Structure 1
Amino acid sequence: MTRPASVVPFFKGRMGRGIERIAARLRRSIFGVCSIARAGSPDEAKEARVNGMTVQELIARFPEIPQDLREEPLLARFAEACEALLRHARKPSPCSTQHDAANHFYLKLIGPLAIYGYGLSSREKVLRHLQELIERQEADPEGFGGSLLPQDAAHDEVKGPGCS
């Protein structure tokens, strides 16, 4: 199997194998293979792949999305376009010392919405950011997830001392 350069940079050794596993999981989730494990039945998984993520599902997963953005049509487009990555995204622990792919997806996709919710960004800036993410995903669906990951992404989230 050949690896697209846009998804995973070439690494050697143990770190490379970890990155390869992350990329493989990402590719499977992008093409809907992982949906079966997340849904209750194969029929629900098929429906999720066909219909995409709804705004209600997005808000249920990430309640930090501000109230005034929840009726925004752009948020619905974002949920549908970035469904696979949003299903994989996970908020990092406050004491994380290294982030895995799921943490990076959260920070890049949901982080700006949370920052706006705290009043540290403008609505226009967040909507512009969502539009840019949608356009990037539509332009390169296979490479988009990889573009959100830094080269040094950890295989698993690493928490600092005293963290559980």
Structure 2
Amino acid sequence: MPRYRLLSNNELKHFEKEFIEFLVVNGIQPDLWQRMKEENSNEVEKIVELFSEVIFENIARKTRYLAYINSSQLFVFNFEKDKGYLLIVETDSSPMPTCRSGNEILQYIQNHEENLLITFQEKDYIESREEEVFRMMQSCMLINSNVYDTLFKIYNARSGT
């Protein structure tokens, strides 16, 4: 059973150069690939599945920070090598905004810092780190370290650690 989902046709088009390199590295020349597509859909699906796994594994390996927002909470994840960390942000003044980027989240934090309740959790990975990151990526947005670092500084200042 695959660890990750198959890339969509659009995603495959985006990674066309990498896919061609993947085929060549695996000894599949363009004429053979064309013949396989016409004659052996099961083999083609297996190759796309393997390529999808390589792509998603690399993306998950490089991903360190994710954020998820609902109407009342912001969850900011930091995926380290051996453990995951989570900052949960709640507000008592207004609903969480619909942020589309890390910069929008930072702006919200800076404008509402005094009304934010921040809690911290850590957790060992149950699955592999990459599988947990991938699962979270399906519903979260990618962010950089600024959001996590800003919230962690506020949390530390308030908790005295």
Q: Under TM normalisation by the shorter chain, which class is it?
A: under 0.3
- With the length of structure 1 as denominator, give the TM-score of the two structures: 0.25
Question: Relative contact order, CA 8 A, sep 6+: which one is greater?
Answer: 1
- With the length of structure 2 as denominator, give the TM-score of the two structures: 0.25
Q: Which has the larger radius of gyration?
A: 2
